[in-house]
Amino acid sequence: FEWKGRERIIMDIKAVLTALAAIALFLLIRIRDRKKYGSQEGHIAIETNRSGIDAALSLLNETFHCPFPHYQIPDEIHMILRREPRSEYGLQLFLQSIAQHCDYHRHQLELHIYNQEEGAAPGRISYRGGNRYVIELHMAADCRRETIMAVLIHEFCHFYLDQHGIGYEVTRENEILTDVSSVYFGFGNFMRAGYRPSVETGSGNNHLYWVGYICVSEIDYAEAVCEKMAEDNL
């Protein structure tokens, strides 16, 4: 019994050290990306920092003039997704609900849900011709509900921005703009919950998993700026 107890303590220490190493790697990647994706001639560069978020929000405000109110998910949709996070029926209703929040009725937009593919992005949107757009979610069976919802919101915002002719030519800058727009459109609480990093265990190894192009603190900052914008419009 004493040896088993020591062995369990050693395993716990290893798990903690692995999680700390994963967090350190996450921070190093973010520092590297901030250095790597700087200004590019001919484009407005959006770095993942306050000045970049300010620029994105200013661009959005030129078209929409005031941040949207906070989105409230209907109770029946929330209950479905709490029971079954990958429920196709529940996610179809959720997409319909977030579209209605933005005063869009989704007649051009389809949603398809697939199992996770190695190396594939968790979400993507494509144009299929005839004013038909398709959002694809590629999610693991054990993916957190909050992450699935945040990815779906991100992909919808891609579509919604495109419909209004808003975007950057540089892919990463456009992805960051899309994340910032999700806060501007009132989905900040859902993005914060979905983009929160989590330590996951697979094949006996712990690893840090996250999605998104801005972090939780940057979502908080964007939301604070949006609240100030809304107050200024009163």
Structure confidence at residue 145 as a pLDDT band (50, 70, 90): very high
Residue 37 pLDDT > 90? no
Task: Record the tokens describing residue 65, joined without a space.
Answer: 């003039």
Can you give the pLDDT at residue 13? 66
Residue 22 pLDDT > 80? no
Can you give the pLDDT at residue 67? 98
Task: Record the tokens describing residue 67, joined without a space.
Answer: 């941040």
Share of the chain above pLDDT 90, in %: 57
**Strands of the sheet with 133-139, listed across from one edge:** 109-115, 133-139, 123-127
For 17, 34, 74, 165, the CA distances from 46, given in Å and listed in that order, are: 34, 10, 34, 17
Can you give the pLDDT at residue 156? 97
Among 161, 56, 38, smallest CA distance to 102 is for 161
Please indicate whether residue 41 or residue 3 has the higher confidence score (pLDDT). Answer: 3
Q: How remote is the C-alpha of 159 from its chain's centroid?
A: 14
Residue 66 pLDDT > 60? yes
Can you give the pLDDT at residue 121? 85
pLDDT digits (tens, 9 = 90+) for 149-186: 999 999 999 999 999 999 988 788 899 999 999 999 99
Can you give the pLDDT at residue 42? 30
Task: Record the tokens describing residue 227, joined without a space.
Answer: 């609240």
Among 135, 123, 144, smallest CA distance to 81 is for 144
pLDDT digits (tens, 9 = 90+) for 82-114: 999 999 999 999 999 999 999 998 888 999 999
Task: Record the tokens describing residue 211, joined without a space.
Answer: 């999605």
Can you give the pLDDT at residue 233? 84
Share of the chain above pLDDT 70, in %: 75
Can you give the pLDDT at residue 117? 82
| Type of residue at 225 | V
Q: How remote is the C-alpha of 150 from its chain's centroid?
A: 5
Q: How remote is the C-alpha of 63 from its chain's centroid?
A: 22
- Write down the mean pLDDT value for the chain: 82
Can you give the pLDDT at residue 9? 57
Structure confidence at residue 51 as a pLDDT band (50, 70, 90): confident
Structure confidence at residue 137 as a pLDDT band (50, 70, 90): very high
Q: Please give the DSSP secondary-structure letter assigned to residue 169.
A: S
Structure confidence at residue 142 as a pLDDT band (50, 70, 90): confident
Q: Which residue has the tokens 């994340």?
A: 179
Q: Which residue has the tokens 């107890």?
A: 5
